[in-house]
Amino acid sequence: MFRTIPTQVILLVLLAIYLFLDYNLDWAIFSCEVLPDSRNKNYVQQKQVLKQHAQRYQSNELRVRRRNLIETIYDLIIIKLVHDQNLLSETVDLTESKIGRQNLAFINFGEDGIRISDIARQQTHAQLGVCPSW
């Protein structure tokens, strides 16, 4: 199911996206692993967990949000290059990015590098959750 992608290829893809698609990467604070309360929940249930997380820290739903695939790849690579740490090595982040008509991309850092696949919004898994960004 997973596809392991070498870091060099991902860096080139990110560069192409940044240069040719005019994608605007911005700074943000994000969690290193998925929220524990979001694990083993589907997409809609995870949205509720995000809302509760925002309220817990006196923020709103517009500021605390789910990252897209590009932001997550960028964060994983930068942290690996700068701090030599593998984020999302224990959990899997369900992103906001669509793959096909209905599935969403999910990502983690496996033994051989970054792994990306897709899953239906209704599915759950014990490692699957959401890493909020704000």
Nearest alpha-carbon partner for 123 in 44, 56, 50, 62: 44
pLDDT in tens, 14-70: 666 665 555 566 677 888 899 999 999 999 999 999 999 999 988 877 789 999 888
Q: Indicate whether 1 pLDDT > 70.
A: no
For residue 14, the model assigns a pLDDT of 65
pLDDT in tens, 109-133: 988 888 999 999 999 999 999 999 9
Ordered by start, the domain boundaries in the chain are: 3-133
pTM of the predicted model as reported, rounded to 2 decimal places = 0.82
For residue 3, the model assigns a pLDDT of 53
pLDDT in tens, 56-101: 988 877 789 999 888 898 888 888 888 889 999 999 999 999 988 8
Sign of CA dihedral 107, 117, 48, 59: positive
